[in-house]
Structures are given as structure tokens and as C-alpha cells.
Structure 1
């Protein structure tokens, strides 16, 4: 067990970033709300790469600042071990290398589940808080590691009920707080939009990285080919950031024919791909199992889903979002299918509104403030 140290004058809360940059947007607004609203707590952010730290600091500055310290986690040599040019060093090794230092915190707040490993490394003192980094339906995120967290946040009743009813989280350890990412998105101007020669309806294609349920391996190139050959739509190809993180030369080469196409914009993980710039700008969503569909549906709009494995999805809550638009098992004639999805959107509007309300419990109090209070209440009660 990592030895504990005497409590500092102010309880210290660490917002930890060991995964890809998209996760920063899910917990950083909570750090800001906590630092501004609870001066009796000391708040810091810690990241495993300089790029992540720079992005977090840039966001903090754009928000007007907050009393938050920041640091780059050691060791430097481990950052050089990024596998296949991935954007982050190995998460488990970085946790192991920093277990003693992290064990001195009073709370560790993280948007990903690998941090649960700290308990196996003997870190017992800090309260572990999992903020989530999406509000999707895939069943894989409801799993045993959730039991290692002292506080798990839920965006809405759908997420909360699945975690509690599945036995992954106890009701007293779950706080339904809404969606803090919306707070930071609404507070910032957003990234520049791509420019297209002609004003046409915009489709955002957002394939997930899931090895089998994701549509890229089976359909991706054919999807791009059809948009390149048909001039009815402009396309933003913005896959989940993990799909091309550390991608092979073969994967990257497959995009070469489309990189200079006037009606196709490709973004494999820049700020606009993660800060809702594209989901807000697009008129139609084309995807598979990514939770980003829920961010897109903040305003009801047409959706179309790709089912490359012919999954028996009806009645399976892991595919609940496929009730929000047509589901295709083939992509022949895709552009015509997108036109049909636009024309038939009225059939799905009520399902989209209901699904959004089940996914996000949004109130007059900002979600980041609700999340910050949930942390502070538990932390100060334990002091």
C-alpha cells in the first residue's frame, strides 16, 4: 500500500489527464467551477504530455482563468514510449510511475476508467472520481472498474439507471450532474469552420474506433468515394479521435485521394473535431456507435447509422441511438439514402427529443457547478 501523508492545510484535488485530448473538455469545466467556488480546496491539473497541458492551459485562459496549478507528469523517458506514434504514453505505466505522488492527493478526478488501476497499485487515500467522457449507449463502458470509484457522475437518468441497475455503481456513489462539456462549449467561441466552394448541406461522418461495430474498416473508404463522386453534399470526415491515433501508414494512405477534394474536409483529431464545432455545424450525422451523436442531437437533425456487422440491434439498449434515424447494413447508393434520411427526418424527431432528455439532465444550474458541488460535498464531509 502507498503510505499516506498528513492532511495538508487545504484538501488537494488533482484533475488527471492520461488519455486523448477530447477527454479534457469533459472534466476541465468542473475543475474551473471547483477552483472558483470552493477556495478551501486546492485544485491542480496534471497531464502526461506537454500537448495536453498546453491545450488545458489554453482553455483555461479562454475561460478567463481560475486558481488552478498545472504540471507535467514524469518521467520524460516514458513519454518517448508512445506506441505507433500514439498521442499519449502508455497509461498504465504512467500511473505506476506516479502512484506515490498521486497517493498524496485528497481526490483524483478523471474522465477515463484506467485510473481505477491506482487501487491495485496500493493507492488508498484519495477519493477517486469518474466524470465520464460521453453519454452514449455502448455497453462496454458499464463494467467492473466503475466499482473502484468513490464517486461516479452520470449525465442523465439513462446513464445513472444502467450503472446502478447493473450493479456497477451504488446509488449513494452516483451523482447525476448533467453534461459539463456543454458549459465549456457554450462559453467558448469554437474552432474555425472548414470552407467549401459551394454552400451545400453538410454531412459529418463520425466513425467510432470500435474494432467490429465501427464502420470504418468495412465501409469507410467507400463512404468517402461516394461523397467524392457526388456533388449533392459537403462532407466533414471527423472520426473518433482514437480511430486514427497511432494509425498505420496503410490507414493514412487510404485518405490520400480525398485530402485535397474541394467538398471533403478531413480532421483526424484537431480541436474542431472534439469541441463540437462540426456536430454543431453539420446538417446530417452519419455514424455508427459513437456517443457524439448525442452532442449532435442537442438540436434535432437527420441521422443515418451504419451497421457493418448486421448486428441484431433492435431491443438492445447498447444501440438505443439507432432509433434516431435509418440504419444501413450496406452503403451502396449512400448519397440517395442520405437524401431519404433528410426527407424522412420528421419520423424521428420525437425519438431524438426523448432520447436527448433521457441522456442529459440539464437544469438552470450549470452542470459543471453541480459536478463540482458533488465533489466538494463528499471531500469536505470526509475532512
Structure 2
């Protein structure tokens, strides 16, 4: 069969969004590159909420558009279900409700791993493609569900090596493509920056949602209190979007005293919290196990890490990024430690640059185009075999 198919018979590639909006930035640039560069394929995006579709269409418009259809996944009653007021309906139930329709696709591209359950639901026809949604070190992302995907993308050699050597992904099923999120971030103007009354070093505090490794439950409010009391820094509190997604009223009230502070900007999940606006603007990173550390280190800058559980991390690849700055098990005198990290940054520049290079395989060819080619070649090869 000719690759110049009619529109009605072109292989269909669905970019699926069933989790929080931050994941859209990791695969949407691939959808754009695929739609623009491979007219033999039909590309669409499908999401479980209208907010997701609106955000994706807004990004597409800002990029100048692309021939990409979009659809809101049914059923409406399930879309209305929110566990603990979370921003998305239950992922597994939405997959089950849409398994038959998704099974008609030729490929399903997703930035999250829950979609692997489609195989258990009997979906066999489509290629399953996992793009990742970060390039971090936390061990939980290297797990058995990766084996369900026909193609798994790696941002760089460190991620690829860990997946292959761990037996989670076969070498032939792993494409090292770089970091497509960088492409879309570089192409867009970014969100408005917070306005502080005085120019001071900006610290971004970016705690993860992990129940034990994340620093918010044990340290979070005290972190905000110390920055509120110390006039040396401006602080952006931009936690991982999942930390406050579905947060209790008590948790929301815990940050209320700091909302009007002139030197503290709070963003619990807006566009600027996910589009690298803060990691690019900040002078110093304060966090724990979020993969956003690698986005921050696109330019080497001072880092400070919080170890609330006093875990033994040296030599553990899940905490590789804790080599990029001091690691604290106590936050007594935190702001003094931040200043010390700023002054002593020269001691960490070399390892930060090395760590970034190990994490991202960036070439002259945009990452999104490399990822699109990896998908297109597999989809079209399968189409030829079926002809």
C-alpha cells in the first residue's frame, strides 16, 4: 500500500491526556512535529477534561497551528467524577470507558504509564508509545508497566541505560530523543513573571508530592515562615502540580497566611508552574525529588535539597541529583543555608553540567522532530506489513 494514503485511510495517532495538565507540554510538541512533518498520518489529541483541551488548543494556536483534531473523551458523568476534588477524573475508569474507541487507533501516545492498562483491557491493535514526562532520578518511574509499551522514549543516555539495564525496556523499543518540552518552551513567550517590590535573589521552592520523600508534610510551612521572616530573598512557592491537586481545606489554609506577603509568590498549579517560567526565572532551587531540578539546571545555578526522612542517599541512583548541591535533613537556619549554597555554587558547577549532559541528549535536530520520526517510522512500517 502506498504511504500517500487518502485522509480516510491514513494511520491514526492519538495523543492521549488523562493526567494533570503539566504532562501536555511533554508530548504536544511531538504531536505538532508529527502533524506537520508526516502528512501520511492523521494526528489527534484526546483528553478527559475540557480544561486540558483548551490548554492544548491555546498552545497550538500560540505555535501557529497544526492539522490536529481534538476530542473530549466520554462519558460526561464520569468526567464529572473528581476524587478528593482532583483536577482529572479517575484515569483507570476513563481508560476502561474508552478502550473500544482507543483500540481503533494505530498508535496511542501518552506521557504517563497508567495507559499501559489498555493491554489488560484487551486493546491490541495500537502501538503504545510512552514519551515520559520528565528526566528525573526517582526510582518509582522505572517499573514493570514500561514493558507494555511498544516504544519508550528516553531524554538522554542515563535514562535509557537505566531502563534497558533494569530490564524494563528492550533496546530496540527505546528511542533516545532528547527533551521535546524544551522545544515548546523555547517557541513560546512564557507566562508572566511574579512582580516583587525589590530586586533580590529569587528562590523557587519546588516540593514533590511523594508521601515520604517530599519535603512539604514535614518542612513546608516552616520553609515559608523562614522566608517570610528573612529579607534577603524573594521566594516563589511552586510545588509539583500534583501536591495540591485535590488538597484538603486544611492544606490550602496552611499557605493562606503567606499569600499577601510582598516577598512570596504562591502558585499551586497555574501555567507558570509547569511551563518553566519559574525554573528559568529563579536564581536558586530549593526542593527534594522533583525532576524539575533538571529543567532548572539547563543553566547551572545554585541548588539546595531537603531530605525530610534522613534517607541514606549517597550512591543511590534515585538521588543522583542530590549531588548538585548541599542536602539538609533539618531546616534550622534554612535561609542561611540557602545563602551558603549561593556563595558556594562554584563547587557544584562541573557536576551540574555533567549531570545535565547525562540526562539530555540534545542535538541540532529538535527533540520533538526526533520523537515524531521514531513514532512515524514504526506506525508506517506496521501499516505496510498490514497492507
Look up the match of 1:377. Answer: 377
2:367 equivalent in structure 1 = 367
Deviations 1:208-237 (A, max 9, x none): 000000000000000000000111000000
1:256-301: CA deviations, max 9, x gaps?
1101100000000000000000000000000000000000000000
Q: Aligned partners of 1:96 and 1:78: how far apart in 2?
A: 11
- Which residue in the other structure is 2:3 paired with? none
2:115 matches 1:129: no
Residue 97 of structure 1, CA deviation: 0.3
- Structure 1 counterpart of 2:356: 356
Pairing 1:28-177 to 2, within 5 Å after superposition: 28-177=28-177
Say yes or no: does 1:234 pair with 2:216: no
Partners of 2:195 and 2:84 lie apart in 1 by: 32
- In 2, Cα distance between equivalents of 1:141 and 1:280: 25
Counterparts of 1:37 and 1:86, CA distance in 2: 36
Separation of aligned partners in 2, 1:241 and 1:224: 18
Q: TM-score, normalised by structure 2?
A: 0.97
User: What is the SS of the residue equivalent to 2:236?
Assistant: strand
2-structure distance, mates of 1:111, 1:80: 23
Matched residue pairs, number? 377
Question: What residue number does 2:321 align with?
Answer: 321
- 1:262 equivalent to 2:253? Answer no
Match of 2:281 in 1: 281
Q: CA deviation at 1:85?
A: 1.0
Structure 1: gaps of 5 or more residues: 1-6
1:11-66 per-residue CA deviation (whole Å, 9 max, x = no partner) reads: 00000000000000000000000000000000000000000000000000000000
SS in 2 for 1:71: strand
- Give the CA deviation at 1:157: 0.2
Secondary structure in 1 matching 2:377: helix
Residues 185-220 of structure 1: per-residue CA shift (max 9 Å, x gap): 000000000000100000000000000000000000
Which residue is equivalent to 1:3?
Answer: none
SS in 2 for 1:181: helix
How many angstroms apart in 2 are the aligned matches of 1:190 and 1:81? 31
SS where residue 286 of structure 1 aligns? strand
TM-score by length of 1: 0.98
2:13 paired with 1:16: no
How many Å separate the matches in 2 of 1:223 and 1:175? 40
Following TM superposition, by how much is the alpha carbon of 1:8 offset from its aligned partner in structure 2, in angstroms? 5.7
Deviation string, structure 1 residues 145-186 (Cα, Å, up to 9, x no partner): 000000000000000000000000000000000000000000
Distance between the aligned counterparts of 2:256 and 2:382, measured in 1?
Answer: 56
SS in 1 for 2:119: helix
- Cα deviation code 1:291-335 (max 9, x no counterpart): 000000000000000000000000000000000000000001001
TM-fit CA distance, 1:79: 1.2
